[in-house]
Structure 1
Amino acid sequence: MNTVFSPLTLGPYTLANRLIMAPMTRSRADDSGVPSDLVTTYYAQRATAGLIISEGVFPDASGKGYVRTPGIETANQVAAWTSVTDAVHAKGGHIFMQLMHCGRVSHPSLLADGAQPLAPSAIKAAGQTWTNTGLQDFVTPHALSVTQIGEVIDSYRSAARRAIEAGFDGVELHAASGYLPEQFLSSGTNQRDDQYGGSVQNRSRFVVEVLAAMVDEVGGDRVGIKISPEMNFNDISDANPQETYTYLVKQLRGLKLTYLHVALFGASFDYHAALRPLFDGRYLVGSGITRDSADALIAEGKADAAVFGGAFLANPDLPARFRNGAALNTPDKDTFYTPGAEGYIDYPTL
């Protein structure tokens, strides 16, 4: 019977355990999207995770959505990330990069030349985002043309290649949390009348084409995807999410992805029961997971691995703490996104 400490084959890799570190924005890059030296220390401290999934990284500058978030577009960004992957690998760990294009959930002050954020449709999101001058209201985004959609897809392709060049073991497409891929998926944010809008088949097209480009570039055994049905973050909504996500996951089978990462936040429908049988790769479960619930899900075959967020943020040695039944540090929410080492690399180990 498998537990959280059982090894797991994931694509070409054998993970030491099934405890996965969730992607978490920490805002420790500089204004040009280059991760600081602190980022190397942070991920190396957590290399005993079976797999680390990095914070969201913008594939090109148009995808930046928050202050001090990192990119994978320039030579300097690639060099900084290479230091991170070298440090993780030196400690025997594995790390995937999460590619995150924020789409309409951005602000002109975060984008080159004060550009408008990009989206499938020119629908303004309710809410605000963090900028260099504090919270700013979202603005009405620019609706992408079909040609521009192709350019964004190509940016994901190039970003996947650069991630592998930087030493990452693979890449994850962030298709949750109200960012660009989910903006295309969801009927509330996608009101297009062309091949990328309208029916669930058309609304899913962007995500499938992005994944196909990434797979073509680095191989399906190095590509995963994250979804969060009914999370409704960043003012996202869909008229029939059960239909949308069931259809989407069916389309993933031909891509031979290495994993599907599903994080649920209060949905009444049992998406895990519906989606796991439809997917032909590893199934990762996230959000609200405990050591006991993770063991139960894995033992019962309902998940192949469990994804932990705040627990890994505050406990660099989380696998050792779980093995020893040790108490866990409490995450300090006040330092989640602040610059500097405090609340980032100073959490104590056993």
Structure 2
Amino acid sequence: MFDTTDPLFQPYTLGSLELPNRIVMPPMTRSRASQPGDIPNELMAEYYAQRAGAGLIISEGTWISPLGKGYAWTPGIHSPAQVAGWRKVTKAVHDAGGRIFAQLWHVGRLSHTSLLDGQAPVSSSAIQAEGVNVFVAESNGTPGFVQASRPRALKVEEIHALVDEYRQAARNAMAAGFDGVELHAANGYLINQFIDSNANDRTDAYGGSLENRLRFLGEVAQALIEGTGDKGRVGIRLAPLTTLNGCEDADPETTYTAAAQLLADIGVAYIHIAEADWDDAPHMPVEFKQRLREVFPGTLIYAGGYTAERAREALREGWADLIGFGRPFVANPDLPERLRQGEPLTAHDRNTLFGGAERGYTDYPAYAANAA
């Protein structure tokens, strides 16, 4: 008999969605989009449908416009063919009983001219992400990593045009059948390059003061609500302490508490916090999490190295509503059932994370099949 008091398996209402459990499959880049055109495909549909037991799936980052692309073979949500490809994915997930949001992605400076038809990446400022590599494909199709190219600073009119591109991407996501969208404002990508003080040296309305550095985040969040037509279909991913990809803030607790307050005022459905999960990573104090809970009345999702027991503790303490399990979902398509039953988890093959075909993607068996 299942434990009916297990907080991981309590239902939850997110906007107009009824989630059967508190387990989220967070966004994970897997670089399997069809070429040419970076189009979502049947293999991706199978992959996501296998994991439809999650309370909520958030898709891998899907770039909103050609200059938003930063890694080889990642899907977009810009062209009609990409939207049609995503429609295959959302149908497969819904047919399997799942719910899925699209993560809308613009990498900003974390790109390379070879991915952008020779153009320079764009960012809040002309500051290169030193020592940061991006995933590219050589002319013969061989994958590899290269130093991100030096960006140019966006003009104000280009920032306004980007807000429009995000709005259109939200409309495209709804046309593709997604249940909602999540803005990728974490991990050193474009929105994060405006928020964090060390990546933004602008002196106009989008730089300098904390209010100015949060302006782009607020404008895009509002555009996504307009694009989806429903505050309950919009979430935002933030990473206050991860320092990934060269982004770091001088006072992250103040900055991200203010960001959470701004998003509360706008009324988005959720904030998805990406915690640092590598060895010797900066620790996110519980007091900081409780501060975010105080200023943001919506749903709070946390992801980053959570075990089932750590997840249950977070839910019981009340500063989290949903918990994301990233890498465990790679090799355990039936992860919710394994967590419910206390079954062992399969380790993933690092060599098959980016690019390739079925191996290391859709060929991981469910526990019952593996045991048999």
Normalised by the shorter chain, which TM-score bucket? over 0.9
Alpha-carbon deviations, 1:203-226, whole Å to 9, x = none? 000111000100122121000011
CA distance in 2, matches of 1:193, 1:74: 34
Partner residue, 1:100 = 105
Deviation >4 Å, runs of 4+ = none
User: Does 1:173 find its partner at 2:172?
Assistant: no
Task: Name the amino acid aligned to 1:15.
Answer: L
Matched letter for residue 334 of structure 2: D
Alignment-mate amino acid for residue 165 of structure 1? A
* Paired residue secondary structure (1:194): coil
1:291 aligned to 301, 305, 308, which one?
Answer: 308
Task: Please show how residues 59-138 of structure 1 align to structure 2 within 5 Å.
Answer: 59-111=64-116, 113-126=117-130, 127-133=132-138, 134-138=144-148
Contact 1:284 1:305 in 2 (8 A): yes
Please give the alpha-carbon distance, in whole angstroms, between the structure 1 residues aligned to 2:340 and 2:251: 42
1:276, distance to aligned residue in structure 2 (A): 1.6
Deviation at 1:297, TM superposition (A): 1.3
Report the TM-score when normalising by structure 2: 0.92
* 1:145 aligned residue (137, 143, 155): 155
How big is the shift at 1:88? 0.5
- State yes or no: 1:349 paired with 2:360: no
Please name the residue that 1:158 is paired with: 168
Match of 1:236 among 240, 247, 252: 247
Amino acid at match of 2:128: K
Letter in 2 for 1:138: A
Q: How far apart are 1:92 and its partner, in Å?
A: 0.9
Matched AA of 1:256: G
Question: Is the contact between residue 41 and residue 86 of structure 2 (CA under 8 Å) also seen in structure 1?
Answer: no
Counterpart position of 1:29: 33
CA distance in 1 between partners of 2:294 and 2:154 (Å)? 34
2:22 corresponds in structure 1 to: 18
For 1:321, give the aligned amino acid: R
Could you tell me which amino acid in structure 2 is paired with residue 268 of structure 1?
A: H
Q: Is this contact kept in 1: 2:73–2:355, CA < 8 A?
A: no
Q: Aligned partners of 1:299, 1:280: CA distance in 2, in Å? A: 17
Distance 1:242 1:300, change over 3 A: closer
Within 2, Cα distance between the matches of 1:337 and 1:177?
18
1:84 maps to a residue whose letter is V
Higher deviation after alignment, 43-52 or 123-132: 123-132
Q: Which amino acid aligns with 2:135?
A: W
Q: Number of matched residues?
A: 349
Residue from 204, 213, 219 that aligns with 2:214: 204
Alignment-derived partner of residue 314 in structure 1? 331
Displacement of 1:22: 0.9
Unaligned runs of 5+ in 2: 139-143, 368-372
Residue in 2 aligned with 1:249? 260
CA distance in 2, matches of 1:210, 1:320: 36
Instruction: Name stretches of at least 5 consecutive residues in structure 1 with no aligned partner.
Output: none
Corresponding residue number in structure 1 for 2:340: 323
Per-residue CA distance 1:315-336 (angstroms, 9 max, x = gap): 0001111122111110111110
Is the 8 Å Cα contact of residues 241 and 284 (structure 2) preserved in structure 1?
no
In the alignment, the residues of structure 1 paired with residue 165 and residue 226 of structure 2 have an alpha-carbon distance, to the nearest angstrom, of: 13
Deviation at 1:300, TM superposition (A): 2.3
Q: Does 1:267 align with 2:303?
A: no
AA aligned to 1:267 is P
Q: 2 CA distance for matches of 1:25 and 1:283?
A: 22
Matched, 1:44 2:49: yes
Instruction: Give the Cα separation in 2 of the matches to 1:303 and 1:128.
Output: 32
Query: Any conservation in 1 of the 2:21–2:54 contact (CA below 8 Å)?
Result: yes
User: CA offset at residue 243 of structure 1?
Assistant: 1.4
In 2, Cα distance between equivalents of 1:205 and 1:169: 26
Is the CA contact 2:64–2:169 (under 8 Å) kept in the aligned structure 1?
A: yes
Aligned-residue offset at 1:30: 2.7
Residue identity matched to 1:145: K
Amino acid corresponding to residue 292 of structure 2 in structure 1: L
Deviation at 1:269, TM superposition (A): 4.5
C-alpha separation in 1, matches of 2:148 and 2:93 = 36
AA aligned opposite 1:185:
I
CA contact (8 A) 1:60 1:73 kept: yes
Deviations 1:238-270 (A, max 9, x none): 111111111111111122111111121133342
1:334-345 equivalences in 2 (<5 Å): 334-345=351-362
Q: Quote the sequence identity (%).
A: 46
* Contact 1:2/1:298 (8 A) holds in 2: no
Tell me the equivalent position of 2:370. none
Where 1:114 maps in the other structure, the secondary structure is coil
- Give CA deviations for 1:77-133 in whole Å, capped at 9, x if unaligned: 01110010001001110000001100000001101x311101010011112211112
